[in-house]
Each structure stands twice: as structure tokens, then as C-alpha cells.
Amino acid sequence: MPRVNKKDDTIFQKVANMQNSYKRVDAHLSSLGYCTRSEAKKFLNKFRVSIHGTRIFDTTQKAYHNDITVEDEPLDPESLLLLMNKPSGFICSHDDAGVLIYSLLPQRFQRRNPKIATIGRLDMDTTGAILLTDDGTLNHKLTSPKSKVSKIYEVTLAQPLKGDESEIFSSGTLLLNGEKKPLLPAKMKIISPICVELEIYEGKYHQVKRMFGAIGNKVIKLHRLSFGDFSVQNMELSEYKVINMNTKI
């Protein structure tokens, strides 16, 4: 089974190609979280904002996104895509009570409009790879069941393996409680009697935990190693990085 639907390459390229809008400087700065529109004048007085290398002070001046710099650095991308190695204890939501995953991001990213949101969710106690974006179309595309994005988890179990788990998961016949259709085939690699790597291609609610629960075991620790081709193998917990939209997932 492919790691991802090839059509997803197209949506990434479309987003990348759209990132050079023409509008007022204060509109650029406020949408990217540098400051509010009302703060833009003070921002231009405090920081060197330039168009084609020439410093400006008029917040109403219009320019293309790619022509503007702040302190000689390019503006943040208009559509942002981040990969984070999520630590335990953080919630992937804007609405729920508790410590939100977004608090791990710089204040500028937190002030962006539209807001950054996670692409799918990880449970509060689950760690590992999660993508975040402020592009609603991209988010919808990658969370759609049709995308079939590969997700690889490291799973620690309460009880030793029985030996038939790989066959059950790869059969494409496992029907979880409350679901109308069986799960897509999943690949399992045994690391130890109580630890496996599991690759799935959908993202149902608590899917990995429910899969092992359905065969009489319990997940006691869950870490997502990768989402598509994006791995957190060499990233510290809480670390994030900006993903180039021209990258294939």
C-alpha cells in the first residue's frame, strides 16, 4: 500500500504557489502575527521593515509578501506547516481545558490569523509526530480518509504478544466496536514481546489503542514515529520545525 495518495503532492504545490499575496504592509504583519494592525506603526518604528531592501514607515503601503523583510529576514510563510515532536501532557485543541500544544510555539505563531491547528490529534498522553498548519484546505485534505496517509507508531503493551496480532491487523477484516467497516490492513513489526511498530493508513478515534483492546491487550505507552514521510526520529520532545510546502508528504 502506498504511503500516501499521490494527489496530496498537488495540494502542497497549490499552497506553495499561492504564497505571495499583494496587500498593505500592516495587513501582512497582522495576519502573520508580528503585531496587530493598530500596533503596526509602532512596529515599523521599532523594527526595520523593508520593501526591496528600502526601509519603510508607511503602514498603508502595499507590497507583495515576498518583497518584504523584517530586520533583513524574510516574512514567515503565508501558509505555515510545522512538524512537532509532541510531549506527553499537552492537548491538541483550542477549546479543551488544560495545557494546549500551541503554547509550545512562539507567540508570533500563536497570534497568526487564521489560527494554527493540528492536523488530526494525538491523545494527551501520546507523544510524537504531529503536523500543524493554518491552512484549512491542507488540513482537511490530510485528515480526509481518502488521503490514506501512513502513520507509524511505537506501541508498548501491557501483556506479551500472542503471535497472531500481525496476521489479524494485516487481514483488513478487523472490525472495531461501533464501526460499520473493518479497518484497512495495517503492518506490524515486532521489536520485543511487549513492543511493536504499527503502520496504519487511517486515523479513527483512539485507533491503535482500540486495535489492541479488540484482541485482548492494552496499550500502556504510545509514540508516533512519523506522519507520512515526516519523522521525529532526530527531534527532541517539544521541538518543532517549519516544513517547506514544496516537500512531498
Residue numbers annotated as active site? 123
**Nearest CA-CA partner of 195 in 233, 231, 160:** 160
62-64 and 22-24 beta bridge pairing = antiparallel
114 prior amide bond cis, ω within 30: yes
Strand, coil or helix: 150: coil
Task: Please give the Cα distance from 222 to 128 (Å, whole number).
Answer: 8
DSSP annotation string for 173-240: ----TT-SSPPPP-EEEEEETTEEEEEES---TTHHHHHHHHTT--EEEEEEEEETTEE-TT--TT-E
